[in-house]
Amino acid sequence: MSPFEFDDKKMQESDNGSVELKEQPTHQENPDYLGKIYADSNTNRQYDSPQRNISTYSPQNSWSYYAANKPPRKSSGAFKKIAAIVVGTVFTFGIFYLATLGAIDLVNDYLMADGASKTATASEQENKNESVPSLKIESTPDGTDIIHPNGQLTTKQIAAKLTPSVVGVATYSMDILKESEGTGIIMSEDGYIITNAHVIAGTRVNKIIITLHNGDEHEAKIIGRDSVTDLAVLKINAKGLVAAEFGDSDKLEVGETVVAIGNPGGIAFAGSVTQGIVSAINRVLGGSDNYTMKYIQTDAAINPGNSGGPLVNVYGQVIGINTAKIVSSGYEGMGFAIPISTAKPIIEDLVKHGYVRNRMKLGVTGEIITKEKSEIYGMPIGYRIFEITEESDLNNKGVRIYDIITRINGKEVTSMQVIYDELKKLSPGKTVKLDIYRNERGKVTTFTVNVAVYEDKGDQ
C-alpha cells in the first residue's frame, strides 16, 4: 500500500474519544471527495485537497510536521521515490499496528466493564427482590356486607333498596299516542304512587301506564293532583309492592350526599342512578306568575324523565321529589326537588280528598304586571285578569277581564305569592279586599271590592 492510498482513509474521533476508521470511496468511485492528483511536466507530484489541508490532517500532527516542515533535500528523482515509498510503508504499518492494539484494548475494556456491570446489576436486583413488595389484589367484598357504623348505606345499597320502589309513568292520548314520560315513587304496598302533576298534565291524556322495575305494566287512575305544588297521586290495582321509606327533609344539611333515581329520557333508561350533594336548602323558586316554594337544590344529575322520582339520603330514605332543573345556557348541575316534609300534607290531602283542603281561591286566571311591564305599557303593577270562572264572586262585584288587581288587603300585588299568602289566611266564604284598576279606551277608573273566596279543589 502506498502512502498516497493512506491519504484516502479518514480518521474520525468518536464521541467517546476512541478512534474509528471508516473506508472511503476510491478515487474512481468519487474522484472529487478528497481531491484530485495532478502531475506537472517535471513529474513532480503535488496534492490538492479542497476539503482539508494535509498539514492539519493528523490529530497528532506528526505526519503534517514531516510533510510540511521537513527541509527539502537535493537528490535525484529516483531516490526521492524510493525514500517516499519506504517512509510511507513504515508509517502506514505503524499506524495500523497501533490502531489494532488500541481497538483490542477498547474491546477488552468494554467486555470487562459490561460483564462487571451485568454481574453488579444481577446482584443488586437479587438483593432488591428480597425487599420490593409485590402488588396484591384482594377479592371484592360483598356490597351487602358493608354497613357504616351509623347506618349509612353505600350508593350500591341505596340503589338496591330504592330501585324496586321506583316506577315509570307514561301518558297516552287516544290510548296509543304517547304524550309524556316521567318517574314515580311507590308510596304504599297496595299501589299508591307519587309523581309530579306536570308529568300527567294534558287535556288529551286519557290513559296512564305504570311500569314497575320488573317490567310489569299497570294502568293507573288519578287520585288527585295539585298544579300549584306540582304534585299528584296515582293508584294501580296491585298488591305486595315495595314501598319506599321516607325521611325527614328538615334535617338535611348542605354538603350531604344524595342519590337521584329515575328514568331520564323515558323507560329506555329506567332505573338510572346519579349521585351528588345537597347544594342548598330552602331555595325559593317560582316566577312572579307562579306560587313559590322552597326546594332542595342538588348537583345530582336530573334530566327530563326524572320528574317525580326520588331524591334519597345516605340512609336510603326519600327526602325529596325531583321536579325541575335549570336548563339555560351556561348552567350545569342545578336540579331541584320538593322537600318531602313540604310534600307530605299535600300528598295526604290528595289521597284522602283528591285535592288540597283549606286552600282558597278567587276564581281568576291572568298574569302579573311587573315593574318592567308597567314602565313599557304604561299600566300599574298588579295582577291583570284574563279569565273569571263561573263560581267566582268577582262576577257579582262588577269586575271584568283586563281589569288589574293592584292591592289585596292593602298589600301591593307584585307576585302571585302575595295573593297566595293572603288567601291562605282565609276559610271558605270569608272576604278579601281588592283594589281594582280599569282602563277603557283611555278612560281610567279605580275602585275597591270585597270578594268572597271559595275552596280550591284542584284539578279534579
The pLDDT-based confidence of 328 (bands split at 50, 70, 90) is low
pLDDT at 367: 92
**How far is the C-alpha of 179 from the C-alpha of 202, rounded, in Å?**
8
Residue with cell 331541584: 336
> Is residue 196 pLDDT above 70, yes or no?
yes
Whether 218 is catalytic:
no
pLDDT at 95: 54
Burial class (CB in 10 A: 0-12, 13-18, 19+), 24: middle
Whether 198 is catalytic:
yes
Query: What pTM does this model have?
Result: 0.64
Annotated catalytic residue within 7, 230, 349, 393: 230
The per-residue pLDDT for range 438-454, each reduced to its tens digit, is 999 889 999 999 999 99
pLDDT at 21: 39
**How far is the C-alpha of 339 from the C-alpha of 357, rounded, in Å?**
20
Of residues 7 and 77, more confidently modeled: 77
Task: Domains for the chain: give ranges and CATH numbers.
Answer: 3-110 (no CATH), 155-236 (2.40.10.10), 249-353 (2.40.10.10), 360-455 (2.30.42.10)
Q: How many residues are recorded in the chain? A: 460
The pLDDT-based confidence of 140 (bands split at 50, 70, 90) is low
Annotated catalytic residue within 165, 198, 218, 456: 198
**How far is the C-alpha of 260 from the C-alpha of 309, rounded, in Å?**
7
> Is residue 194 pLDDT above 80, yes or no?
yes
Annotated catalytic residue within 307, 393, 403, 456: 307
Residues 6+ apart with CB under 8 A from 70: none
**How far is the C-alpha of 119 from the C-alpha of 187, rounded, in Å?**
75
Nearest one of 460, 403, 396 to 431, comparing CA atoms: 396
Burial class (CB in 10 A: 0-12, 13-18, 19+), 308: buried
> Is residue 324 pLDDT above 80, yes or no?
yes
The pLDDT-based confidence of 228 (bands split at 50, 70, 90) is confident
The pLDDT-based confidence of 18 (bands split at 50, 70, 90) is very low
pLDDT at 102: 53
CB 302 within 8 A of CB 177: no
**How far is the C-alpha of 334 from the C-alpha of 117, rounded, in Å?**
63
pLDDT at 368: 93
> Is residue 41 pLDDT above 70, yes or no?
no
The per-residue pLDDT for range 329-351, each reduced to its tens digit, is 677 778 999 999 999 999 999 99
C-alpha distances in angstroms, 64 versus 47, 57, 80, 101?
A: 13, 7, 18, 23
- Over residues 193-211, the mean pLDDT reads 89
> Is residue 290 pLDDT above 80, yes or no?
no
**How far is the C-alpha of 459 from the C-alpha of 106, rounded, in Å?**
100
> Is residue 168 pLDDT above 90, yes or no?
yes
pLDDT at 227: 87
Whether 307 is catalytic:
yes
What's the mean per-residue pLDDT of the chain? 77
> Is residue 25 pLDDT above 60, yes or no?
no
- Over residues 393-421, the mean pLDDT reads 95
- Over residues 325-329, the mean pLDDT reads 69
C-alpha distances in angstroms, 382 versus 10, 72, 401, 420, 437?
A: 102, 123, 14, 14, 9
